[in-house]
């Protein structure tokens, strides 16, 4: 039986990354890594392929990042799959993405089971087409007993909409007399976000070089470190994930203070 670290080394056996696994401080792996998966369309266009091929390859990349994150012992991996603004894309692309989400979830269920991955959706999945919604609900039920890494998929997610929803929940509690306005705290607000009970991401990765937050986890990323890479999402692989974590480990996090706070998870 391989030890966890040996298994991890085996996972990186054909290492060609700039930093070897040995360069990482395994005691300071972020608990929550979040990915803004961008550049699927441009990856395809650069190869003269249909955008659909970029999304399909993006799913292959996500699979590799999930298995790597599990081996690294990450607690939460979140990924931005579809924003509340993505409905504005051409109808055929929206349809394709909804179809791919459902198909991917069915195809990847064996992997999620094998890796004991807990699944959460961030966003209003009730507003998705029925077939996609049904598959997601079936998948959630299938993964309910899992106890391993949390995979949080942001689908039909918008950070502003999430905050409005949380404020409405709290307003209801005030209206019903269950809470006083002055008692509302940051912790209460966080409890009413889709990410309730999940740690905030220490590291946010955005691919394809865009320097934007794009309405993603607006509340939760207050003190996150960013790693922006020109790599298009379909080419983002386990080596670059190591690069991102290595870069994170070189940062000094001060959370608004003057003293550097260890980026070791508590
Ligand atoms: C951004 O590329 C990517 C997306 C809109 C979709 C990403 C989704 C996945 C990889 C699959 C997720 C799987 C499940 C089950 C939810 P883009 O189209 O914005 O690329 P562009 O900026 O180059 O046009």
Residue 168 CA: distances (Å) to CA of 36, 101, 172: 27, 29, 6
Task: Judge contact between 50 and 127, C-beta under 8 A.
Answer: no
Q: Whose CA is nearest to atom 3 of ligand 1?
A: 38
Q: Candidates 38, 49, 94: which one to mutate for ligand 1, based on the most atoms within 8 Å of Cβ?
A: 38
Report CA 108 to chain centroid distance, whole Å: 16
Token pair 């080596």 is at which residue?
239
Distance in angstroms (rounded) separating the CA atoms of residues 108 and 100: 12
Active site residue 178: no
Q: Under CATH, which architecture does the 30-157+202-249 domain have?
A: 3-Layer(aba) Sandwich (3.40)
Q: Candidates 56, 78, 81: which one to mutate for ligand 1, based on the most atoms within 8 Å of Cβ?
A: 81
- Tell me the average pLDDT across 218-228: 97
> What is the value of pTM for the model shown?
0.91
Task: Judge contact between 148 and 97, C-beta under 8 A.
Answer: no
**What's the pLDDT at 266?**
47
Which tens digits make up the pLDDT trace of 49-60? Answer: 999 999 999 999
Contact 55 CB / ligand 1 (< 6 Å): yes
Q: What does the angle CA 30 – CA 31 – CA 34 come to, to the nearest 5 degrees?
A: 80
Rounded to the nearest whole angstrom, what is the distance from the C-alpha of residue 101 to the centroid of ligand 1? 10
The single residue of 25, 75, 86, 95 carrying the catalytic annotation is 86
**What's the pLDDT at 1?**
46
Rounded to the nearest whole angstrom, what is the distance from the C-alpha of residue 263 to the centroid of ligand 1? 29
Tokens standing for 213?
């937050």
Q: Whose CA is nearest to atom 6 of ligand 1?
A: 81
Share of the chain above pLDDT 90, in %: 85
Contact 58 CB / ligand 1 (< 6 Å): yes
The single residue of 4, 6, 38, 169 carrying the catalytic annotation is 38
Rounded to the nearest whole angstrom, what is the distance from the C-alpha of residue 256 to the centroid of ligand 1? 33
Distance in angstroms (rounded) separating the CA atoms of residues 64 and 111: 11
Q: What does the angle CA 195 – CA 200 – CA 204 come to, to the nearest 5 degrees?
A: 110
Rounded to the nearest whole angstrom, what is the distance from the C-alpha of residue 155 to the centroid of ligand 1? 10
Check whether 238 has a pLDDT greater than 90.
yes
Question: Edge-to-edge strand order for the sheet containing 32-36?
Answer: 118-122, 150-157, 76-83, 32-36, 203-206, 225-228
Q: Whose CA is nearest to atom 13 of ligand 1?
A: 101
Active site residue 38: yes
Q: Which residues pair with 77 in a beta bridge?
A: 33, 151
Contact 104 CB / ligand 1 (< 6 Å): yes
Check whether 18 has a pLDDT greater than 60.
no
Residue boundaries of the structural domains of the chain? 30-157+202-249
Which tens digits make up the pLDDT trace of 205-217? Answer: 999 999 999 999 9
């Amino acid at each position: 039986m391989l030890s966890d670290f040996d298994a991890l080394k085996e996972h990186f056996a054909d290492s060609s990354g700039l930093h070897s696994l040995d360069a990482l401080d395994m005691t300071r792996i972020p608990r929550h890594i979040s990915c803004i998966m961008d550049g699927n369309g441009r990856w395809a266009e650069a190869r003269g392929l249909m955008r659909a091929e970029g999304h399909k390859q993006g799913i292959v990349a996500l699979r590799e990042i999930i298995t790597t994150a599990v081996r690294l012992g990450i607690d939460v991996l979140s990924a931005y799959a579809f924003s509340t603004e993505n409905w504005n894309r051409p109808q055929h692309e929206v349809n394709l993405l909804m179809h791919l989400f459902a198909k991917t979830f069915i195809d990847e269920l064996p992997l999620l089971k094998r890796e004991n991955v807990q699944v959460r959706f961030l966003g209003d999945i009730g507003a998705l087409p029925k077939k996609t919604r049904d598959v997601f609900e079936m998948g959630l039920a299938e993964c309910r007993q899992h106890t391993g890494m949390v995979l949080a998929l942001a689908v039909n997610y918008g950070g502003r909409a999430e905050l409005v929803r949380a404020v409405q929940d709290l307003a209801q509690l005030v209206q019903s007399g269950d809470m006083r306005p002055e008692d509302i705290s940051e912790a209460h607000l966080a409890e009413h976000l889709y990410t309730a009970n999940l740690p905030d991401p220490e590291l946010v990765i955005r691919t394809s070089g865009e320097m934007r937050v794009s309405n993603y986890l607006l509340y939760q990323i207050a003190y996150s470190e960013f790693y922006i890479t020109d790599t298009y999402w379909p080419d983002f692989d386990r080596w670059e994930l190591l690069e991102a974590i290595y870069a994170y480990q070189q940062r000094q996090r001060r959370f608004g203070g003057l003293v550097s706070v260890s980026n070791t998870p508590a």
